[in-house]
């Protein structure tokens, strides 16, 4: 016959609380990761669709440009996210947001698919 002391019961209770807390944290992290991934995928998909349709172009400043009025809201959302990234990088490197944007623009130009509209530094639109 087992004898349960208050110390044993306390240890058992503590283990259950730790397990529940750990389970809760891992469940919440899974949900957060899923929501973030699905949001990023949706954003990337609409960005690609807008590029393919010609409604969105990429500028030498590192920001997207609405080439069609129907894309203005989506472009504003994209640029808001880009500006946050650029600001973080600029602060970390001690440079201006504009400088960071121009560096990112060069990378964006390299990676966008053929057929994407690109606005050069002179403001001229060129189809990649």
pLDDT (mean) for 72-84: 94
pLDDT tier, 110 (very low <50, low <70, confident <90, very high otherwise): very high
Over range 97-110, report the average pLDDT.
Answer: 94
Residue 128, number of CB atoms within 10 A of its CB: 14
Look at residue 35 and tell me whether its pLDDT is greater than 70. no
CA atoms within 13 A on the CB side of 17: 6
User: pLDDT category, 100, cuts 50, 70, 90?
Assistant: very high
pLDDT for 43 equals 42
From the CB of residue 122, how many other CB atoms can be counted at a distance below 10 Å? 6
Would you tell me how many other CB atoms lie within 10 Å of the CB of residue 63?
19
In order, the DSSP letters of 59-75 are ETTS-EEESSGGGHHHH
pLDDT for residue 125: 95
Answer yes or no: is pLDDT of 68 > 70.
yes
For the chain, give the mean pLDDT. Answer: 79
Cα–Cα distance list, 13 to 9, 16, 17, 22 (Å): 6, 5, 6, 14
């Amino acid at each position: 016959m087992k004898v349960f002391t208050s110390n044993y019961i306390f240890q058992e209770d503590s283990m259950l609380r730790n397990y529940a807390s750990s389970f809760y944290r891992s469940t919440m992290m899974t949900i957060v990761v899923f929501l973030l991934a699905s949001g990023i995928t949706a954003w990337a998909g609409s960005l690609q669709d807008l590029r393919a349709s010609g409604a969105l172009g990429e500028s030498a400043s590192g920001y997207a440009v609405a080439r069609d009025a129907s894309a203005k809201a989506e472009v504003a959302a994209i640029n808001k996210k880009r500006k946050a990234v650029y600001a973080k990088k600029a602060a970390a490197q001690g440079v201006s947001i504009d400088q960071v944007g121009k560096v990112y623009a060069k990378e964006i130009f390299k990676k966008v698919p053929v057929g994407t509209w690109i606005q050069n530094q002179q403001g001229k639109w060129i189809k990649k």
